[in-house]
Structure 1
Amino acid sequence: MNNVRFLASVAVAATLFSGPAFARDVTIHQAVIGETDQKTQEISTEDMRRIVSQGGATILDTRPHAEFVNGHIPGANTLKGPPSEAVAEVEKLVGGDKSKALVLYCNGPYCQASRRMAAQLLDAGFTNVRRYQLGMPVWRALGGPTEIDLDGVLRIFRNDQTAVFLDARSAEDFGKGSLPHAHNLMAENAAKVQGAPMPLDDFNTRIVLFGRDAQQARELAEALSKRPWHNVSYFAGTFEALNAAVK
């Protein structure tokens, strides 16, 4: 994730200085790349946040499944089958209704996966396909909540010795037992935390949040979204399930 801020600046620059897209009052959350050679419309981070919050479209993560489980936009769907079956998988996902709104994303402005998938869907007769071309790097950089699956948490827990695990439960619950080497940080304290348990030597450090349930973990993620640590993911499950899997 070391290139996150670079990608964010590229995305904004492309928006601000691309002909008709030039506008002094555009914000980074409203930025798009401004591509002119694509048949599908781009949406901004602001648009994507609205879709995540309010619905209105089926979100497709076009990255490999292994990347999806390590962190994805909340509510996104992954395509598990081979590329040759991707269109059929999407059709099944929307119940055969090719007019349903779809939003695709992948690994940022230079990632081709969502562009290719969008073109394939258009050729197959889908009529409402858009892309969040800024993708996961910019989503993370702008504080977008990122969900991580159990397989992803276990992979990080077992292989990434630099990762920080934060338990969003109460101090009382934390005191009764937590994951090995986890730290306690409740959402109400996230805005003012200085130093430990937050890493200060590398703000790209991977941070995994968990709580008694997905809602509690996400509340901590939202509280941290205005802080400078952007490589943050929350576990969308219960502490009991995570604790049992780690043992």
Structure 2
Amino acid sequence: MRHAIALTIALFAGAGIVRAEDATYPNITHDELVKAIEAKKVTLLDANGTETYKDGHIPKAIDFEKQEKDLASKLPADKSALIVAYCANERCTAYRSAAKAAKELGYTNIKHYPKGILGWKSAGGEIEKAE
């Protein structure tokens, strides 16, 4: 009986623990993202991988896979600046790596664009291609 009680307490205590890689980031809507881009008040992190990035990404987005090791030099000096990470679509979780990397660098205003590149394209958003 004591073992069962101890296990129950351990489970409830552990339920409140959120690992950094499992952290969630607030979503940003398509319209909010468009406004932030137009106002030049956002840094975008594309977490789709370099090959997908080359095929098309949101203009000015950083290729996270390619720039991960040098990310600190690519992000703004202001740690409260808006950073938005995205990947393919609502089911994709690759954005978490980019968001986590920014968080580990001390950024405090990190959001997720859940529609990803596929939602951006279907909404008529402009894309850039890389060499």
Give TM-score scaled by structure 1 length.
0.40
The aligned counterpart of 1:75 is 60
Contact 2:42/2:81 (<8 A) preserved: yes
Q: Following the alignment from structure 1 to structure 2, what is the Cα–Cα distance between the partners of residues 49 and 56? A: 10
Q: Please name the residue that 2:47 is paired with.
A: 62
Q: What SS is found at the alignment partner of 2:117? A: helix
Ranges of 4+ aligned residues in structure 1 off by more than 4 Å: none
Could you say what secondary structure the match of 1:147 adopts? coil
Task: Name the counterpart of 1:141.
Answer: 122
1:114, distance to aligned residue in structure 2 (A): 0.6
In structure 2, which of residues 7, 27, 32 is the aligned counterpart of residue 47 of structure 1? Answer: 32
Contact conserved, 1:39 with 1:119, CA < 8 A, in 2?
A: no
1:145 and 1:129 map into 2 onto residues whose CA distance is: 22
Contact 1:40–1:130 (CA under 8 A) maintained in structure 2: yes
Aligned residue in 2 for 1:112: 93
Task: State the identity %.
Answer: 28
Answer yes or no: is 1:101 the counterpart of 2:82: yes
Distance 1:95 1:139, change over 3 A: closer
Is residue 2:68 matched to residue 1:92? no
What is the alpha-carbon distance in structure 1 between the residues aligned to residue 78 and residue 115 of structure 2?
A: 27
Alignment counterpart, residue 122 of structure 1, candidates 69, 82, 103: 103
Report the alpha carbon displacement of residue 74 of structure 1 after superposing the two structures with TM: 1.1
SS in 1 for 2:59: coil
RMSD of equivalent CA atoms: 2.0
Shift of residue 121 of structure 1?
A: 2.9
Give the Cα–Cα distance (whole angstroms) in 2 for the partners of residues 75 and 44 of structure 1: 18
Structure whose residues are more often helix by fraction:
2
Q: State the alpha-carbon separation in 2 of the partners of residues 92 and 141 from structure 1.
A: 32
Which residue in 2 is equivalent to 1:8?
none
The 1:95–1:146 alpha-carbon spacing in structure 2 relative to 1, beyond 3 Å, is: closer
- Taking structure 2 as the reference length, the TM-score comes to 0.72
Shift of 1:94: 2.2
Larger relative contact order (Cα-Cα within 8 Å, sequence gap ≥ 6) = 2
Larger Rg: 1
* Unmatched 5+ stretches in structure 1: 1-36, 152-247
In structure 2, relative to structure 1, the CA distance for the partners of 1:45 and 1:70 (3 Å cut) is: same
- Count how many residue pairs are aligned between Structure 1 and Structure 2: 109
- Unaligned 5+ segments in structure 2 are 1-21
